[in-house]
Amino acid sequence: MVVEGTFRGRLITSIVATAKKLVPEVVVQEVQRYRAYGRDERSLYLKIRISNGLGFTNPKLSRVPKTARSFLFVCFGNIMRSPMCQALLNRELACLHNAQFTVVSAGLNAIPGKPAHPWAIAAAKELGIALEGHRAQLLSPEMVDQADVIFAMDYHNQVQLLSRWAGAKSKTFFLSAYAGEDFRPLEIRDPYYSGLEGTRSCYRVLSACIQNLVRALSDEERTPLSSGELIPPGHSGRAVSR
């Protein structure tokens, strides 16, 4: 019995190792992502991915209505991406005249009261943003109802959001639609496991997104910024590379 069990274990290990060599890494990652969703979320994820993959929908081309005045940014824990977007958009909107906006951020899995991640605080400071006073808040039905526009960062945000509030589909957008032509991914991935440099890179993308969003809202006819370009806060002149 011991010999048989040992042989069976070795056979399974061998099969798994062979499968990993034959199956592309992207497929393995996709299976892992699928399994990470809850049972009720998996069908929604597949529907969204198939629709995007076949070209029935293209989130990168979606734009928010210029009449939008209430913006909600969501991410996983509300300690890195979404609070930075909230702070960036508030700073940019302060330069617009005769317009009233509401900007909120929240996490789909946030621990209420948790401060911003240390990497987030450090990377934000380099862009002139202070996140030391930020405290995470959990996404609520009231926030969803009151928002004209909801920005998600990745598929996980989108799936969790729409699985809980299906009625928010028409006002949910991917922020990467405003990232510029040099940023091809649809998702702006969570830098939680990417260190300070990964957070800096993420925040450069977020900064370009927010500046391009404000340009669109203010009808500025300018070439969209790329993720490698930044404009000093309060300035509408030529972008500078960093």
Residue 186 dihedral angles phi and psi, to the nearest 5°: -80, -35
pLDDT at res. 231: 52
Domain boundaries, the chain: 1-36, 59-241
The more confidently predicted of residues 9 and 170 is: 170
Residue 205 dihedral angles phi and psi, to the nearest 5°: -65, -45
The rounded distance, in Å, linking the Cα atoms of 211 and 83 is 16
Task: Evaluate if residue 190 carries a pLDDT over 60.
Answer: yes
Average pLDDT over residues 93-122: 93
pLDDT at res. 235: 46
pLDDT at res. 242: 31
Task: Evaluate if residue 143 carries a pLDDT over 60.
Answer: yes
The CA distances from residue 162 to 22, 74, 188, in Å, are 35, 12, 18
Asked if 201 contacts 191 with a C-beta cutoff of 8 angstroms, the reply is yes
The more confidently predicted of residues 28 and 143 is: 143
Cα–Cα–Cα angle for 67, 81, 43, rounded to 5 degrees? 80
The more confidently predicted of residues 229 and 77 is: 77
* Reported confidence tier of residue 241, pLDDT bands at 50, 70, 90: very low
pLDDT at res. 218: 86
Task: Evaluate if residue 76 carries a pLDDT over 80.
Answer: yes
pLDDT at res. 85: 98
* Residues annotated as catalytic (active site), given as ranges: 75, 81, 190
Sequence letter at residue 241:
S
Task: Evaluate if residue 160 carries a pLDDT over 80.
Answer: yes
Mean of the per-residue pLDDT values of the chain: 86
* Reported confidence tier of residue 96, pLDDT bands at 50, 70, 90: confident
Task: Evaluate if residue 124 carries a pLDDT over 80.
Answer: yes
* Reported confidence tier of residue 187, pLDDT bands at 50, 70, 90: very high
The CATH H-level (homologous superfamily) assignment of domain 59-241 is: Response regulator (3.40.50.2300)
The rounded distance, in Å, linking the Cα atoms of 195 and 215 is 30
pLDDT at res. 236: 41
Q: Where are the alpha helices (DSSP H) in the chain?
A: 2-22, 25-36, 39-53, 81-93, 118-126, 141-146, 155-164, 195-217
Task: Evaluate if residue 225 carries a pLDDT over 70.
Answer: no
Residue 31 CA to its chain's centroid (Å): 20
Residue 230 dihedral angles phi and psi, to the nearest 5°: -140, 145
